[in-house]
């Protein structure tokens, strides 16, 4: 019996496993649910043990558990695959507009509705089921390491340091991050890039030393909101390009070849834009198509702005300060720290002498990731999705950032691949989240094809 056959035989039980895991409200952002996160970690450890892995729970002071499991039966000469997923979820309550209790998994129309179904417990179960089938029925030619994080939704506070401090434990030939989604249930995609993120910044502009009466001082005193908007308006040009000198210096140009590679995903991204964003019209760098703008081009975004009176009604104040929150999405080979320094220098240059400004770093950034489309591992992923879905996968790059990927890339000397099995319409972080049951089974099969397709020496 092959792993594929084993998976077919145990298909219903894999769904039951997913139901069991979905029943645990492992909400990492809510301290009152941390015992549930702990319960989920124990469930995963026991499950790993049952399917033949050697499990360990890693804890750190004030952090939620990382669950790790390994199997070395393929021997020291076989390649090792490290697979990352996260098992924590966003908050959810029925009152938010759910049709069924978010932690009482419910079947409707071939879907399983529950918080965490698509983000990201379907991935956890796919990986556990695939490894179970691999060990039980195939002749495994790869060693396996699974690493499941319990605080991805609350900032991944632990894993960066954990990866750096456990490089030997996590040593592998191929590293798989299994999270994310496809634009269509029937159309697998092959993400080979992620945008990075600059340090998260807050720009504070201070004018007068206290809030002033706009009658007594209006006209003689530079309003810091006025100064701030004038400064912020100088960070982009008329066409929407970032106008910070040097910002694009390290941006890799989009080659004609890559433009062609990405062309097929374009219509999916445009349809999604109309459905989800639905602004009066698209916007952005006129030299790039919509999907290219979010995949291969960097941004400078204002995530928040505040100053003066922001309550109901009117207060004729001329405020003392105004502030904006700023992050940049980066593409290879932009360095987050250099981008911060360029912006800092530009802000200093454009701060008028009538106010003072300060650019504070709130959180560290992460570099962008681009994966070579022609590694043996990427070719194996490509073939595995084709087998699993019966459809040629199309290439894509994620506009978002998964900071842990950059840490894996930097720390582990391995081939790196992204393997998403969710559906984009599945309501991650939203109400009535669901996983498509058919995609669960296709995902398990895809992983088994992937394990088989990897070169025996990586």
48-67 positions binding its own copies, by CB under 8 A? none
The residue with tokens 């506070």 is 157
Tell me which residues in 166-205 interact with its own copies (CB under 8 A).
Answer: 195, 197, 200
Of residues 336-355, which lie at the interface with its own copies (CB under 8 A)? 353-355
d(CA 222, CA 354): 6
- Residue choice 157, 218, 267, 286 for contact with its own copies (CB under 8 A): 218
Nearer to its own copies, 22 or 318 (CB): 318
Question: Would you count residue 226 as binding its own copies (CB under 8 A)?
Answer: yes
CB of 238 to its own copies, least distance (A): 9
Q: Which residue has the tokens 């910002």?
A: 247
- In the bound state with its own copies, the residue whose beta carbon lies nearer, of 267 and 400, is 400
For the bound state, the minimum distance from the C-beta of residue 204 to its own copies, rounded and expressed in Å, comes to 13
Q: What is the CA radius of gyration of the chain?
A: 24
Of 139 and 279, nearer to its own copies (C-beta) is 279
Expressed in angstroms, the distance from the first to the final Cα of the chain is 26
- The CB-of-191 to its own copies minimum distance in angstroms stands at 12
CA distances from 171 to 41, 166, 229, 405 (A): 22, 8, 49, 15
- 317 binds its own copies, rule: CB under 8 A: yes
- Which residues fall within 8 angstroms of residue 31, CB to CB, at 6 or more apart? none
101-106-112 Cα angle (round to 5)? 120
The tokens for 289 are 């198509």
In the bound state with its own copies, the residue whose beta carbon lies nearer, of 424 and 452, is 424
Interface with its own copies by CB under 8 A: which range of 48-56, 117-125, 166-174, 268-276? 268-276
Residue 360 in contact with its own copies, rule: CB under 8 A: no
CA angle 345, 349, 355 (to 5 degrees): 115
Q: For its own copies, give the closer residue by CB, 127 or 154.
A: 154
> Phi, psi (5° rounding) for residue 201?
-120, 155
The site map against its own copies for 393-422 (x = CB under 8 A) is -----xxxx---------------------
> Strand 422-423 vs strand 181-182: parallel, antiparallel, or unpaired?
parallel
**Pair 28, 152: CB distance under 8 Å:** yes
Smallest distance from the beta carbon of 286 to its own copies, in angstroms?
12
**What whole-number distance in Å separates Cα of residue 165 and Cα of residue 159?**
10
| Closer Cβ to its own copies, 294 or 343, answer by number | 294
Piece in contact with its own copies (CB under 8 A), picked from 15-23, 42-50, 107-115, 279-287: 279-287
Backbone angles phi and psi of 184, in degrees to 5: -150, 140
**Nearer of residues 214 and 375 to its own copies, judged by Cβ:** 214
Q: How far is CA 9 from the centre of its chain?
A: 33
Size of the site for its own copies (CB under 8 A): 79
Q: Decide whether 144 or 295 has the Cβ nearer to its own copies.
A: 295
| Smallest gap from residue 258 Cβ to its own copies (A) | 16
Q: Nearest CA to 338 among 235, 405, 250, 242?
A: 250
CB of 215 to its own copies, least distance (A): 3
Applying the rule CB under 8 A, the residues between 280 and 309 that interact with its own copies are 280-285, 290-291, 293-294, 297-299, 301-309
- Under the binding rule (CB under 8 A), the answer on residue 236 touching its own copies is yes
Among 322, 347, 381, 412, binds its own copies (CB under 8 A): 322
The answer to whether residues 97 and 16 touch, using CB atoms and an 8 Å cutoff, is: no
Output 111 or 329, the one with its CB closest to its own copies: 329
Q: Which residues pair with 369 in a beta bridge?
A: 194
d(CA 449, CA 142): 12
Return the closest-CA partner of residue 100 out of 38, 39, 23: 23
Nearer to its own copies, 131 or 328 (CB): 328
User: According to CB under 8 A, which one of 225, 244, 359, 366 is a site residue for its own copies?
Assistant: 225
């Amino acid at each position: 019996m092959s792993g594929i056959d084993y998976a077919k035989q145990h298909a219903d039980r894999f769904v039951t496993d997913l139901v069991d895991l979905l029943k645990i409200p492992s909400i990492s952002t809510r301290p009152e649910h941390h015992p549930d996160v702990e319960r989920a970690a124990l469930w995963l450890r026991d499950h790993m043990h049952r399917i033949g892995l050697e499990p360990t729970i890693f804890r750190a002071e004030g952090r939620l558990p990382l669950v790790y499991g390994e199997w070395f039966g393929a021997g020291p000469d076989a390649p090792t695959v490290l697979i990352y997923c996260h098992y924590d979820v966003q908050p959810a309550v029925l009152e938010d507009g759910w049709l069924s209790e978010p932690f009482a998994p419910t079947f409707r129309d071939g879907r399983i509705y529950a918080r965490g179904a698509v983000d990201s417990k379907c991935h956890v179960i796919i990986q556990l089921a695939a490894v179970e089938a691999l060990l039980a029925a195939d002749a495994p030619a790869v060693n396996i390491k699974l690493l499941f994080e319990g605080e991805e939704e609350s900032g991944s506070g632990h894993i960066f340091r954990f990866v750096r401090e456990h490089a030997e434990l996590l040593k592998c030939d191929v590293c798989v991050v299994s999270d994310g989604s496809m634009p269509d249930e029937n159309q697998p995609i092959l993400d080979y890039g992620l945008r990075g993120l600059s340090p998260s910044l807050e720009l504070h502009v201070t004018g007068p030393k206290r809030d002033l009466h706009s009658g007594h001082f209006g006209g003689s005193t530079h309003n810091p909101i006025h100064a701030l908007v004038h400064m912020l308006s100088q960070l982009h040009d008329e066409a929407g390009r970032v106008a910070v000198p040097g910002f694009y210096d390290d941006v890799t140009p989009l080659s004609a070849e890559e433009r062609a590679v990405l062309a097929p995903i374009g219509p999916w991204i445009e349809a999604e834009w109309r459905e989800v964003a639905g602004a009066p019209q698209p916007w952005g760098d006129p030299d790039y198509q919509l999907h290219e703008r979010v995949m291969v081009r960097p941004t400078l975004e204002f995530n928040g702005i505040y100053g003066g009176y922001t309550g109901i009604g009117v207060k004729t104040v001329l405020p003392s300060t105004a502030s904006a929150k700023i992050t940049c999405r980066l593409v290879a080979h932009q360095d987050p720290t250099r981008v911060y320094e360029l912006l800092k220098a530009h802000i200093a240059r454009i701060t008028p002498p009538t106010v003072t400004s300060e650019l504070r770093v709130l959180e560290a950034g992460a570099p962008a990731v681009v994966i070579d489309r022609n590694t043996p591992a990427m070719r194996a992923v490509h073939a595995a999705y084709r087998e699993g879905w019966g459809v040629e996968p199309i290439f894509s790059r994620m506009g978002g950032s998964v900071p842990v990927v950059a840490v894996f890339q930097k720390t582990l000397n391995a081939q790196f691949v992204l393997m998403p099995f969710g559906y984009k319409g599945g309501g991650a972080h939203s109400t009535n989240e669901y996983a498509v049951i058919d995609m669960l089974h296709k995902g398990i099969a895809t992983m088994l094809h992937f394990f088989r397709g990897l070169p025996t020496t990586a």
